[in-house]
Structure 1
Amino acid sequence: MTRAAAPLMLEPGQRELLESLAKSRTAEHRLVQRARVLLHAADGMANAEIGALAGVTRMTVRAWRSEFAERGLADL
């Protein structure tokens, strides 16, 4: 079993925005994918598991988690 990273901490309102993006049929695919990754990270799922579900590498998940920790949703 893969050890999970600490759950990503979301500010009030961020989960709702990420959920909306994750369900979007009109947003750019990469944006939808990133929103799903961040939601899984907030739920405490391991980076390797998130990557497998999202179709990205574990390193990409780590990078997106780091970017979110530094800048929040500003890049979205």
Structure 2
Amino acid sequence: MTRSAAPLVLEPGQRELLESLAKSRTVEHRLVQRAQVLLRAADGMSNADNAVLAGVTRVTVRAWRSEFAERGLADLGRVAPGRGRRASIPQ
């Protein structure tokens, strides 16, 4: 087992919202995945173990943690401009 990062600190109410997102069957998969990663980080799981469970890299887990530490739940599922799949059907 690898050395764990410091547990992510959640404000009151944030855990409940992340838990509901993590269990949701209707929101986008990327939001569910990110909520699960953040909850495991708050429980003290190492970034490496968290990345394996989520199927992403440790760099991604660290990026999501730092993004959450900076902005909290604001823009949680926002995709940065220029990222993501391009439209296959023109406007």
TM-score, shorter chain, exceeding 0.5: yes
TM range (shorter): over 0.9
Counterpart in the other structure of 1:41:
41
1:37-76 alignment runs, 5 A limit:
37-76=37-76
The reply on whether 1:31 has 2:35 as its aligned counterpart is no
**Number of residues of Structure 1 aligned to a counterpart in Structure 2:** 76
Asked whether 1:22 is paired with 2:22, we answer: yes
Unmatched segments (≥5 aa) in structure 2: 77-91
After TM superposition, the score normalised by the length of structure 1 is 0.98
Q: Deviations over 1:14-49 (max 9, x none)?
A: 000000000000100000000000000000000000
* Contiguous gaps of at least 5 residues in structure 1: none
Which amino acid in 2 is paired with 1:65?
A: R
Write the distance in 2 (CA, Å) between the matches of 1:39 and 1:75. Answer: 17
What percent identity do the matched residue pairs reach?
86
TM-score, length-scaled by structure 2: 0.82
The answer to which structure, 1 or 2, has the higher relative contact order (CA under 8 A, 6+ apart) is 1
